[in-house]
Chain A
Amino acid sequence: MFSSFLIAFRALFAHKTRTFLASLGILIGIASVIVMVAIGKGSQKEVMDVIAGMGENLITVNAGEMKRRGGRLRLTGNVTTLRVRDAHRILDEIAEVETVAPFEEKRMTAKFGNNSAETTVAGSTRDFSIIRDYRLQSGEHFSERDSKTANRVAIIGMTAVKNLFGEEDPLGQVLKMHFIPFKVIGVFEPKGVDTNGLDQDDIVLIPLSTYMRRIVNQKHITRIFVRASSRNNIAKASEKIRELLRENHKLTDDRNDDFTLVSQLDLEDLKKETTEMFTKLIVGVAAISLLVGGIGILAVMLISVKERTREIGIRRAVGATRRDIIRQFLYESLIIGFLGGGLGIVLGVGLTLGLTHWGHWTLILDPNSIWTASWACAGLGILFGVFPAIKASKLDPMEALTTE
């Protein structure tokens, strides 16, 4: 058995260029599988990071029914039933809830000196920045007093800072919205875009009480951000919030919810669908490239068998069995497969690490893909080597010997 391996190895070594070319298809196939799976995993992680960055164990209660349109969730209708007291009851009565933040927002023009820019003005509580993971870069947050007395203070995001203040330090400055002056008491660290591609830094946060009284003068809110006490409790908390809100809004069994719950898990599932589709697609492409690689092995092995007909005859004459011949050629195709696979893994891993290091891409090496690739190239070597090997073994020894 070992001798068959040795024979195969030497035959391949004698035809280095051909061996390399035969394994090239597998090499490229395996390398592309590894890189593409890494790209897929990387983009999945990026998306998951964005979701996680929106807030840990986040559940969003939106007023009105939400519908999925074009892969995004959009609110429909104008519902006025969601109130601040809903938020208080959620916090007080549901054990699985850690923090809540009632929230209302509106696109408005803010002015500073001669600069003016459209931005999102949001009203919420201190807990908003905890739940949504907005961190202060400088300055300070609202005080209890600010909320109680509806003070005109604001904390602003980086985009709003850039648009309104340029290079100037915004702390302590006064900006105007609706001709109402607000003192800037803090600046948020930049957060980037959310899963819908919206800029999370284009924000001017003011106390909810100030917002409700001075900006809009309304009682209802459009959103409540809720943080569940743990990831495992997200589903349970969601269910309890639904029950509580239905009761609070006096919804009878025959009526639909007048609110929509979207949890972190829902967002993850939504995004997973897209990334999984992407993964299936690349696996399909990879499978085709591996198939082409396998056909490369098949072609080279058939040529090799034809070329070595006389050698087969000689070996048969001195005592090689059909099985010996099959083994010899199977080992050859297997070695080609492994050679291509091995070099493919090296190339794939190298490219992945290189792109991560120098290209600054988010690529994640999946040990599974390397493992699967190793099996795939062994399998391909055997699968596409069997036919030529059997063909070689079926040659009539006497005819093989007399072939020129």
Chain B
Amino acid sequence: MSLIEMNSICKSYRNVGFETQVLNDVTLHIGEGDYVSIIGPSGAGKSTLMSIMGCLAQPTSGEYILDGEEVGKLNDRKLSRARNEKIGFVFQAFHLLPGVTALENVTLPLVYAKHSPGNAKERARELLAKVGLEHRLHHTPGQLSGGEQQRVTIARSLINDPRIILADEPTGNLDSKNGIEAMKTFDNLVKEGKTIVLITHDPEVAQHASRIISILDGQIASDSYQKTETC
């Protein structure tokens, strides 16, 4: 059974009477432990696909089964719980809470977790150490560089030990050095058994994945496996 199972997903937005079809009949299965890149030009529907995959939006039609649960049938509470427990987000724009320390940003998902572990702070500290920020625990996002902020985001995505990491253009706002660092982190996470879905328009970044899905005009144009040194 696949961890992510999308069958004939369509998504359209209605805007002032116009209906724009963003995703058109996308069928896609991703197994546990896969390292997938979704690539395509801007406007192709990558971000929409990610928001549906991340339970941030519901498809207009089609069926999405995440970890055996049909997402379309979930209410807000269960949907939020799926985001909280199963998925870790890494955004291009980082999306950290301003004015709040790195440590607290990392523990944010635990605020909404059903069972908040007692050692939340300890775990957050470990994760920040893992991404090399043990000396920046009490800095706010404004006091951190872009690369450091992205690493805080990655630590946050891991705090609840999710099975899937969804990364939307994770290197988009980083210089090449920090970008390479971030990609290394993802490569390592796959080795730890995480399922990683990278969304990017950069073919070089996409090369890190073992499977590359390219999207064009809301449809899957190609879906190929490749051998890389990470797998």
Complex Cα spacing A14 to B99, Å:
9
CB within 8 Å of A: which B119-142 residues: none
Chain A residues whose CB sits within 8 angstroms of the CB of B76 once the complex forms: 321-323
* Between-chain CB contacts (< 8 Å), 20 pairs: A313-B95, A314-B108, A315-B108, A316-B83, A317-B54, A317-B83, A318-B112, A318-B156, A319-B80, A319-B85, A319-B160, A320-B112, A321-B77, A324-B80, A396-B57, A397-B51, A398-B51, A398-B57, A401-B56, A401-B93
**Contact string against B for A residues 203-241, beta-carbon threshold 8 Å, 1 for contact and 0 otherwise:** 000000000000000000000000000000000000000
A window 292-331: CB within 8 A of B: 310-311, 313-324
Please state if B112 and A321 are interface contacts (CB–CB under 8 Å).
yes
Residues in B whose Cβ lies below 8 Å from that of A314: 95-97, 108
Determine how close the nearest CB of chain B comes to the CB of A17; give it in whole angstroms. Answer: 15
DSSP class of A's interface residues: helix, strand, loop or mixed?
helix
Q: How many A-B contacts at CB < 8 Å in the complex?
A: 62
Q: A316 to B77, Cβ gap below 8 A?
A: no
Which single member of A313, A315, A397, A401 contacts B112 (CB below 8 Å)?
Answer: A315
CA distance A397 to B84 in the complex (A): 13
How many B residues touch A, CB cutoff 8 Å? 26
A residues near B98, Cβ cutoff 8 Å: 311
Q: Give A60-78 as 1s and 0s: 1 = Cβ < 8 Å from B's Cβ atoms.
A: 0000000000000000000
CA distance A319 to B78 in the complex (A): 10
Q: Given A319-B81, A320-B80, A398-B57, list of 8 further CB < 8 A pairs?
A: A310-B95, A314-B95, A317-B83, A317-B89, A320-B111, A321-B76, A397-B57, A398-B51
Q: Which 5 pairs between the two chains have the least Cβ-Cβ distance? A: A319-B84, A319-B112, A318-B109, A321-B80, A398-B51
* Alpha-carbon distance between A320 and B79 when the two chains are bound, in angstroms: 10
B60-81 Cβ-contact flags toward A at 8 Å (1 or 0): 0000000000000000110011
> Is A346's CB within 8 Å of the partner chain B?
no
Q: Which of B56, B84, B109 touches A398 (beta carbons < 8 Å)?
A: B56
